[in-house]
Chains A and B, each alone.
Chain A
Amino acid sequence: MFHFIYITITMFLATMMAGVVAAKPVTSNAKQSAVNKNTQFYDLVSQSPYKNIRVKISFTNDVTLSDIQNVLHKEMVAVKAFYHGTSSYTGGYRLQEGETLEEAIASYQRDHIFFIKKRIEAEEMILQTTYDKTFQDAVIQHIREAVQMRVDFEKNGVRIIAIEVEGFAIDVAKFSQKNIFVHDVSLVTK
């Protein structure tokens, strides 16, 4: 019986490890960078450098959309999504099929301010339909936060904290290695 279980488990582990074979190593710089950022990602880069992958790359500090645009133009990776946010809110923009980087950035900025304005309008309407003082105070506080978001946008634009990109593992590793603002790289499921 134990022999039977042993064989079953061994066979299962063997299939799980299928594909874990020696592959062409990446450059030492790219490898070291990947080690620093994510072990799981590094393993993939080492084993399958030309595997097409999708990763979320988070930044050390937020950056402007134009900064991202300048950096990405020279890269072999394709951006699929942007993320923005602070400790009090978050959000992002997912590119549609066939949408260019320039189109996405223009739509992202347009929508960010459009939805802030829409929110302020809608929340001012809420105030007119409630008489609960605590609830009213919560709505007023929320409107203030939206006004602050509008001020931040007018001053700094949309500030990006992470992006999702797709490309060969080796190209993603090179991108993360040469851009000092990259903080972490993690694999994402499509």
Chain B
Amino acid sequence: MKKFTILLAFVCVQLCLCSTSVFAATTSCSLTDDTKFVPSWGKVLIDEDRYSRYVYQWMYWHNDSRLSWFGDNTNSTFEPDAFFYNYNNEAFAEEPTGYWASNLPRAYRDTQSFDSSGENAITIGSANAQDLSSGRIYYTVTRMTDGGGDSSWVKLSAQRGKRRPSWCYSTNCSFGCRQSENNVRTLPFRQSVPPLDEEFSAPGCVQYWYHWNITTFSEC
């Protein structure tokens, strides 16, 4: 009986440690509201040439207050995600491939390890979001593989997170925050984006303004 108890305890410890390292895709963070980390303005351009499909994103925070959560957290990370609708297996894009670039601080190409198969996330993130500055344009670009569809809905999301451990700046050490607000949709799926009278889908180009006087969209 004693041996059995020891074995059981051992298995529990192992499972606990494994689940922390393998399934811990999120981390604990302080509460905040969307105007402390979501970009004030953004633009997405999704297109293709004869080599592959690609996504370009731009973003801008118009004052320091809009970056204050990052500034208050030394190990903060930021991910401007582009999600391609794949619940019908006809996403415009599947995963990043080939060339990528960004001027986000400590930029990395994100992994799709913990993502849902219904939404293909294409992300270049920042492993040092505390170094983001207001009044400066940031961009990300990457080529992508074909997801099987000629067109699909796209959702843009602003995700705040933290590095665990704090000295590690690789994609595997960036975890999204569990606490709200987070994963704020700056461009939603399947929703008419005013003043445009239609849903945004890839390929295409759109700009958004998020709580910068107003929240609105425009063509590029």
- Residues of A in contact with B (beta carbons under 8 Å apart): 4, 7-8, 11-12, 15, 88-94, 96, 107-108, 110-112, 114-115, 118-119, 122-123, 125-126, 129, 132, 134-135, 137-139, 141-142, 145, 188-189
In the complex, besides A119-B56, A135-B41, A137-B135, 12 extra interface pairs with C-beta distance below 8 angstroms are A15-B14, A88-B103, A92-B101, A92-B109, A111-B143, A118-B56, A126-B43, A126-B220, A129-B207, A129-B218, A134-B135, A189-B170
Q: Which residue of A lies closest to B17 (CB)?
A: A12
- Take A15-B14, A118-B56 as given contacts and tell me if A107 and B100 are in contact as well, using a CB distance cutoff of 8 Å: no
B87-130 interface (Cβ within 8 A of A)? 96-103, 106-107, 109
Residue of A nearest to B172 (CB): A189
Chain B residues near A (Cβ < 8 Å):
5-6, 9-10, 13-14, 17, 41, 43, 45, 49, 51, 54, 56, 58, 60, 62, 96-103, 106-107, 109, 135-137, 139, 141, 143, 170, 172, 205, 207, 218, 220
CB distance from B204 to the nearest CB of A (A): 13
User: A12 contacts which chain B residues (CB < 8 A)?
Assistant: 10, 13-14, 17
Residues on the B chain within 8 Å of A89, using CB: 101-103, 107
If the complex has contacts A119-B56, A125-B220, A135-B41, are A11 and B98 also in contact, measured as CB distance less than 8 A?
Answer: no
Q: Smallest CB-CB separation from B99: which chain A residue?
A: A111
Q: How far is the CA of A125 from the CA of B45 in the complex (A)?
A: 12
